[in-house]
């Protein structure tokens, strides 16, 4: 019946295309194919996804109509989320770049992240004692940043040389397990080196001020964190997209053998990937220490897991995807509990912050299995 109705409408257009009979057969084939592809699993997945989405929308509507939070509160939530998300994004870069080049998940990256700020703590504490932090805050923070980036980069570089390079060409599971082992090794090495307690980062007085930007109250270190993260992500994007070395990196990521035939030193490019990831992680570490002012040997674990989530969320292997995923995750963690759980009448919603982050991951993967920006890459490499 519907075919009969549709046909006359499509008639005039098909005049220049294939004959109507052929088109109808083609359409039927498409429909069957679609039905074949649409399995019970898909239906359940879509139902779950739709259910979560409905809950989110209902919760948000209830919260917003209750009017408990003012615009100022929402802006505060967003600034907190943006600052936290920029840190996730910087760490996620390391995961995503290594995956893009080596197709492996570098679980030890969270320890690369920890090693930088923990090492730099001793420099920061020294500056604090000598008063340099007070008199020359910019210079001393810059030094702390350099030390942190250097430490993280060194750890990342050695990690690749010692733990991963000898295993290149081994089955995929082998480097994965090695990464987990390396993660524990690094964690407890740093515990042995620096102790199992907390160390409190000295407070930079200059960053404790509050600024009013267009009527929005922002804390000094939030501005620094967000601006520094944006700057570094911009620089990295420029490096990968516009420089010759970036081009070589992308070539290695697409096809190692062809890249080698073109005269690119693949090993060097892989080392480069780890170095860049380490630099980003070291910088993220200092920003983390500015925000939370605490370091200890286990500090990398949770941010590492979150950044990995961010990388998958944005489409693993895709650099802008990791940035987007990190910031998205930061927003969700900060806004989510108040926005939709509060409206659903859930008591003490912030306890479920992590659950929300991972539910979002499930939701995104149901509707976009390759992540937010991951499609092009997945098609190319599948």
Partner 1 sequence: MRKILVLTISLVLATGLASGLALAAKEKAKEAKKEAFKYEDPIGVVKIKPGQPIHIAYWFVVAGPDASLGTDTKRGVEIAIQDKGGKLLGHSIKFTGQDTGCNAEGGQAAATKLASDPTIVAAIGSNCSSEARPGAPILWKAGIPTVSPSNTAPYLTDPKRGPEYEGYLRTAHNDKVQGAVAAEFAVKKLGVTKAATIHDGSVYAEQLQAVFAETFKKLGGTITAQEAVAPTDTDMRPVLTKIATGKPEFIYYPIFIAAGGHITRQVKEVAGLEKVYLMGADGMFSPDFYKAAGEAAVGMFHSSPDFSAFAAGYKDFLDKHQKKYGEKPLAPFHAHAYDAAMMVFAAIEKVAKKAPDGTLYIGRKALRDALYATKNFKGITGTLSCDQYGDCADPRIAVYQTTEENVKKLVMPDKPFWKPY
Q: Site residues (CB under 8 A) for partner 1?
A: 68-69, 72-73, 76-77, 80-81, 84, 196-200, 203, 217, 219, 291-294, 296, 298, 301-303, 333-335, 337-338, 342, 347-351, 353-354
As measured in angstroms, the least distance from the Cβ of 332 to partner 1 is: 11
Q: Smallest Cα–Cα separation from 80: which of 313, 314, 296, 331?
A: 331
Q: Smallest Cα–Cα separation from 280: which of 82, 146, 93, 84?
A: 93
Is the separation of the CB atoms in 282 and 116 below 8 Å? yes
Residue 104 backbone zone (phi > 0: left; psi -120 to 50: alpha; other: beta)? beta
From first CA to last CA, the distance across the chain in angstroms is 40
Quote the crossing angle between the two packed helices 71-102 and 220-242, to the nearest 10°: 30
Tell me the three-class secondary structure of 167-209, residue by residue: HCCCCCHHHHHHHHHHHHHHHHHHHHHHCCCCEECCCCHHHCC
State the Cα–Cα distance between residues 138 and 132, nearest whole angstrom. Answer: 10
As measured in angstroms, the least distance from the Cβ of 354 to partner 1 is: 6
Q: Which is nearer to partner 1, 162 or 355 (CB)?
A: 355
199 contact partners, CB below 8 Å, separation of at least 6: 118, 121, 125, 294, 295, 296
State the Cα–Cα distance between residues 95 and 174, nearest whole angstrom. Answer: 17
Q: Which is nearer to partner 1, 85 or 317 (CB)?
A: 85
Q: Which is nearer to partner 1, 96 or 199 (CB)?
A: 199
As measured in angstroms, the least distance from the Cβ of 303 to partner 1 is: 8
As measured in angstroms, the least distance from the Cβ of 348 to partner 1 is: 4
As measured in angstroms, the least distance from the Cβ of 156 to partner 1 is: 23
Strand-pair partners of 211 = 218
As measured in angstroms, the least distance from the Cβ of 74 to partner 1 is: 10
DSSP state of 68: -
As measured in angstroms, the least distance from the Cβ of 346 to partner 1 is: 11
Q: Which is nearer to partner 1, 303 or 321 (CB)?
A: 303
Q: Which is nearer to partner 1, 256 or 296 (CB)?
A: 296
Q: Which is nearer to partner 1, 240 or 286 (CB)?
A: 286
CA dihedral sign, ordered 349, 351, 355, 360: positive
As measured in angstroms, the least distance from the Cβ of 120 to partner 1 is: 17
């Amino acid at each position: 019946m519907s075919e009969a109705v549709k046909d006359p409408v499509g008639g005039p257009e098909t005049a220049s295309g294939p004959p109507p009979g052929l088109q109808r057969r083609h359409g039927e084939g498409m429909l069957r194919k679609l039905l074949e592809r649409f399995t019970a699993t898909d239906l359940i997945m879509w139902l779950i996804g739709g259910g979560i989405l409905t809950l989110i929308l209902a919760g948000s509507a209830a919260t917003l109509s209750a009017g408990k939070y003012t615009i100022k509160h929402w802006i505060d939530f967003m600034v907190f989320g943006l600052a936290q998300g920029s840190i996730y994004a910087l760490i996620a870069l390391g995961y995503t770049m290594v995956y893009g080049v080596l197709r492996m998940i570098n679980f030890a990256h969270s320890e690369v992240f920890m090693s930088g700020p923990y090492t730099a703590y001793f420099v920061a504490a020294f500056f604090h004692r000598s008063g340099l932090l007070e008199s020359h805050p910019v210079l001393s923070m810059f030094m702390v940043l350099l030390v942190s980036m250097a430490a993280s980069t060194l750890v990342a570089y050695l990690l690749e040389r010692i733990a991963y390079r000898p295993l290149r060409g081994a089955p995929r599971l082998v480097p994965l397990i090695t990464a987990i082992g390396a993660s524990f090794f690094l964690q407890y090495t740093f515990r042995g080196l620096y102790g199992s307690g907390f160390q409190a980062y000295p407070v930079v007085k200059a960053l404790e001020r509050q600024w009013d930007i267009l009527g929005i109250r922002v804390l000094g270190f939030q501005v620094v964190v967000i601006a520094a993260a944006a700057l570094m992500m911009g620089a990295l994007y420029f490096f990968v997209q516009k420089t010759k070395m970036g081009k070589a990196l992308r070539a290695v990521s697409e096809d190692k053998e062809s890249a080698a035939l073109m005269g690119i030193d693949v090993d060097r490019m892989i080392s480069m990937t780890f170095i860049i990831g380490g630099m980003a992680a070291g910088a993220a570490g200092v920003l983390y220490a500015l925000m939370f002012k605490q370091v200890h040997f286990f500090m990398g674990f949770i941010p590492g897991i979150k950044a990995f989530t961010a990388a998958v969320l944005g489409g693993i292997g895709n650099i802008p995807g990791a940035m987007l995923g990190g910031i998205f995750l930061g927003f969700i963690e900060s806004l989510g509990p108040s926005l939709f759980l509060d409206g659903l009448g859930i008591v003490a919603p912030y306890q479920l912050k992590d659950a929300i982050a991972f539910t979002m991951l499930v939701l995104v993967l149901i509707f976009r299995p390759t992540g937010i920006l991951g499609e092009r890459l997945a098609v190319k490499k599948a």
